[in-house]
Structure 1
Amino acid sequence: MTRLRELRESNGLTREVLSKELNIPVRTVARWEKGENDMHLQSAIKLADYFGVTLDEFVSKY
């Protein structure tokens, strides 16, 4: 399980809710979680901020 999925699920969010809150296509979130696409640094920073973790914490398991 990716760190993104772990954080999303532990916060009770669906992919759809997360994508709407951060204005990221739901398909992109799904691809990141499945490891099909790499994430740009700006997106990783945005997600780390959203979940209240450091960038190191966010990418350490991603």
Structure 2
Amino acid sequence: MLLKERLRELRKEKKETQVQVAEAIGIVEQHYQKFEGGVNLPNLENAWKLADHFGVTIDYLVGRSDKRG
């Protein structure tokens, strides 16, 4: 599974909007939309923030592992 698919899946599981996720990690909504749309990849700092926000590992987030924790 690709990063964009994992992000969308995790966000929907938490019942959050793209705006809420963006605010939670300190970026603008359009920046987050580009991650979820597959246009851009997050830098390492934002990947850490996203993984922490969703309670998963970076490996899970980027599709290197199917283990969330």
Q: What TM-score comes out, normalization by structure 1 length?
A: 0.86
Runs of 4 or more, structure 1, over 4 Å off, are: none
Tell me how far apart the structure 2 counterparts of residues 23 and 34 of structure 1 sit (CA, whole Å).
18
Q: Which runs of 5+ in 1 are unaligned?
A: none
Q: How many residues get paired?
A: 61
**Root mean square deviation, CA, Å:** 1.4
Tell me how far apart the structure 1 counterparts of residues 61 and 30 of structure 2 sit (CA, whole Å).
20
Which of 28, 33, 43 is 1:30 aligned to?
A: 33
Q: Which runs of 5+ in 2 are unaligned?
A: 65-69
Q: What TM-score comes out, normalization by structure 2 length?
A: 0.79
- Percent sequence identity is 38
